[in-house]
Structure 1
Amino acid sequence: MITTTNFHCALCLVYGAHGREEKRGVWEELSYVAGLCQVPFCFLGDFNEIMYAEDRKGATSLPTTGEEFKRWVHDIQLMDLALTDRKYIWFRGRSCSRIDRVLVNVEWTEKFSDIRLKGGPRGLSDHCPLIVEGTKLQGGPRPFRSLDSWFTHEGFLRMVKTEWRSLEDAQFTCKLKALIVPLRQWHKNTFGDMDKRLMRFEEEITRLGNLARIKGAIRGFYKDLYRQEYVPRIGVRDGLVKQISRDEAAALEVLPSEKEIKEAVWDCGSSKTPRSDGYNMNFIKKFWEDIGLEFIAAVLGFFQSAKLPMDLNVTWVTLAPKVEGAKEVKDFRPISMVGCVYKVISKKMGFGLRWRNWVRECVTTATMAILDAGGSSQKRAHCPVVGGRRSY
């Protein structure tokens, strides 16, 4: 327990093994610990393994143990905190890599939305110390959102380009997450007074209603709505689905070209509500010259591997009133917000075996959060597929 905030959690310090079998043993033990935890938990330390090729200087591909480590992190639904101020954390001679990490579960991020990871001075050790900073928020984390008004401010474009280039060769989604920190700071420095006024207004609204009752009703309504115990299996032999030819199926599974991916981006509305990653398509389009190739690589990475990083497959659901004076949950229209990369992926999928693997990855790794009127994410849980629908 962190006594200063009365935050009940579990912290596990890790020192990874060197051999392949020994590493598997450590991961198995950590999986057991994760299964026991009924509170937000954090694994931090030296895992003695990389998750991406760019985590090791000069590496062009992941070793077998790296692939297994990455799959293990994905399977037990952990989030790898992005390192915001440097690329490597371990140094020996000319060798350098990032083998120290901080892995947290979704419940941890619900308590600390503004969490960031940086390295400290190395001193005499081969390792730089890891410093985790974050602010606990009451009532759930406030999601990051990019604002179109930022582009009208002098110096904003230059600031983003400078910050993006400073992140060098990190994975695209990690760079997006790391970019949130300087964007938040820039927004605070530029529009700080406005945020304070909005915060006072939101506090006044909070005092007017029983938020606990409202949250409970919303959770219960959607928990029941997305639960389905049985769904009849319908196939092509039932005469309800027309089977396409092999050539048509093969054509649907051809990997999208760079041109098609860019067209899919430009086909999306620019100034719609920011997605679950905090960015709207206007942001992606404005900085396409700087981030376009990495965005394309992130999309193609899914189609080539049929694997989605957990943070790419998060859906936010916000509720908009259908009628004036809406009081019951059924009076609100749910609006889903998926990440920018996921949005483009969903526009380019076909129907064959490869397509089924793509869909299975998109559906079975889904994470959903319900947003209240104040913009806080109150409920975020892994959503397995039950009868073809997402459920809690």
Structure 2
Amino acid sequence: MIIATWNVRGLQQLPTQAAIVDFVRTHKIDVMGLLETKYKKENYTFFLKNNFREWKAMENFEMIENSRMLLMWNPSKVTLEPIRVEEQAIYTKIRCLTSNNTFHFVLVYGLHTIPVIDPLWDSLVKHVVKDEPTLVSSDFNNVLAEDERVEGSVHTEYEIKNMVDTCALLGLEDIMSMGCKYTCKNHAISSKIDRAMINDAWFTKGYVASTEFLPSRPYTDHSPTVTTLFEFKKHLKQFNIKEFSELSKRVKETGEKLEALQKQADRDTSDLALRVQITNQKKKTAYLEKFEREYFKQKAIFKHLLLSDRSTSFFHSLVKRNNSRNYIAFLYRRDGTITRDQEEIISEFVKFYSTLLGTKKEPEPIKVDICRQGPLVSEEDSRVMVRPITVEEIKEALFDIGNDKAPGPDGYSSAFFKKQWERVGKDVVEEVKEFFEKGQLLKNFNTTVISLIPKTSINPTVGDYRSFSYCYVFYKIFTKIRSRRMAPLLKLVDNAQSAFIPGRHIMDNIHLAQGLIRGYAEKKNAPKCTVKISDPSYMC
């Protein structure tokens, strides 16, 4: 299903009408919202009769001058129920006849100044149903951040505050998009005022959407917004709905059974066997509830869960939300073209990381003479570094890993090894000692799972996904032991360095440099000069 919105800056001209008809047919639009039509009702009826004979439509022409909004839809693809019509918004409820999915759709056209646009934010807060999936799209005539406008007067916090507050209150956020970053280009001023946004309930329902902002064409200065909606793909391995439902069902059944036994014991207080049965049932219920809570803690990745007493529907919705976000609907290839094919998307990531992680390069020889001019590791420190690994070191390194850290590719977290230390501790110690004594590591232990986190919501490429590597617990133990032994050697690092030093941060020098050069471009300041010194001879 495809929904489009477009500020056409007037529908009177025949070339504009022809462009809209071609746009709808080319992109196979099912629902089309047109803004600033500047059309009379009799004219738009004639326009629909000639070009969209089978379509239905609604508008707000009688509520505001210049005929602001016209909403059209194809009844063979969707059913649309009008809910409310206002000067700056049209509220509807849509059901896709292909997937049978139902959601709310709000067509928005914000007015130009703060006093007249404020009623729009009040209306959205009042009429958007937060518990039901909602898509809000079109021309907001406002930006969400200062960097969404280039040239022209700078938007103040006062101008964007109401929109920011409204989106935060309703849980609205931009859909992952491609195409034009700035959707309105008025002379030298470029800004992002057209957008498509969805709420929290959209993720809870498991829906997925992607948006494309196309070039504006010659008849208007606004980009058309094309939003494609489709169901969450069940083949994604991030979340298994079947197992989740079985777990919750078992928790519910054990709780109901415990409640029934307790009611029975209240009627018959002399039945000792029943008391034993209740005790066992309590343990079973508590165990399953704890298991359910831990399961969804790993899935939801939400700190507030640590303070809750049970996994409620709120946390189930977070799981669905996170997994909907994990779906990559489209990707820009390295040559600038777009792909929506899942196999091609997978192939692009494999090629990227094969090149990034698999490139071999001979290291440059260490300049020993230069190294000897600086502080050196003492013989005593050297002996401490290579002393035999002890059981206590291994156990301390393991138990220092948080229980809620992500498991490795084998699915085992540090919590498993801690709780089963009496059974597996001996094997863990032998494996770790073998690594440090022989200097060899099993290939499986050196394997990681790369998880991708999007860094941008506009025109994503492979490089726009931040990668996180999930390592085996054994690998984490090796690293912790080595880092602990090397910690005393940090005294050799020069005081000018900011990385790897306790109490310092690698970004400190960057912030210092930014502070020093701030104001260089201002003419009223005194002349300044910065010199960057980099001597390759000191690189070893």
Global fold match (TM > 0.5): no
- Which has the higher relative contact order, 1 or 2, with Cα contacts under 8 A spaced 6 or more apart? 1
- Normalization by structure 2: what TM-score? 0.30
- Normalization by structure 1: what TM-score? 0.39
